[in-house]
């Protein structure tokens, strides 16, 4: 058997395996990658809750972990940081109201920071063309990004990027280059 036929057989086997397990492999890689950014106790807590099939309620930390892994597997070219540092993880563990749904993020790197949504109605802000609605947070846990130290604001990362720069970033992400200006 020559080298060419061996390579063809290996490629065929890899294609067959990739179709069946690609999603599971991507998920496992994302889980390991995220666990490496976490405190060991926090990672153990999350893994215990996920493994417990009879658990009726997960902590906010476990919900956030699962949401981040799902985002990583469905949008692998997302340039925002993929990490749960100890300070952020502890907030999700301690405060069941903590969420990233209010859109508070770092203006430089796009890391989503937790905040607590107010029960008050939305603020309406006129931007010159129409009203934009924002929830009033009771508490934003970080005034600066826990990863890079830049300022944090509501939808700050997206607002700080022009349409053209977002197109360029998306094209660079598709090429596998994550160096953004």
100-122 pLDDT, tens per residue?
887 889 988 999 999 886 555 45
Alpha helices in 37-162 (DSSP H): 40-51, 60-74, 86-94, 156-159
Question: What is the pTM for the complete model shown?
Answer: 0.70
Question: Please, which pLDDT band fits residue 176 given cuts at 50, 70 and 90?
Answer: low
Tell me, rounded to whole angstroms, the distance of Cα 40 from its chain centroid. Answer: 19
59, 49 in Cβ contact below 8 A?
yes
Sorted by where each begins, the domain ranges of the chain are: 1-95, 97-181
């Amino acid at each position: 058997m020559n080298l060419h036929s061996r390579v063809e057989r290996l490629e065929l086997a890899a294609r067959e395996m990739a179709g069946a397990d690609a999603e599971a492999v991507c998920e496992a890689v994302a889980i390991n990658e995220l666990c490496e950014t976490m405190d060991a106790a926090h990672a153990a807590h999350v893994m215990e809750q996920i493994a417990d099939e009879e658990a009726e309620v997960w902590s906010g930390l476990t919900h956030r972990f699962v949401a981040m892994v799902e985002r990583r597997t469905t949008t692998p070219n997302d340039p925002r940081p993929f990490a749960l540092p100890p300070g952020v993880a502890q907030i999700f563990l301690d405060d069941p109201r903590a969420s990233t749904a209010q859109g508070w993020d770092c203006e430089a790197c796009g890391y989503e920071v937790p905040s607590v949504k107010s029960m008050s109605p939305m603020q309406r802000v006129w931007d010159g063309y129409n009203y934009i609605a924002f929830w009033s947070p009771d508490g934003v846990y970080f005034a600066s990004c826990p990863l890079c130290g830049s300022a944090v604001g509501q939808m700050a990362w997206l607002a700080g990027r022009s349409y053209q720069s977002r197109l360029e970033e998306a094209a660079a992400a598709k090429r596998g280059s994550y160096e953004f200006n």
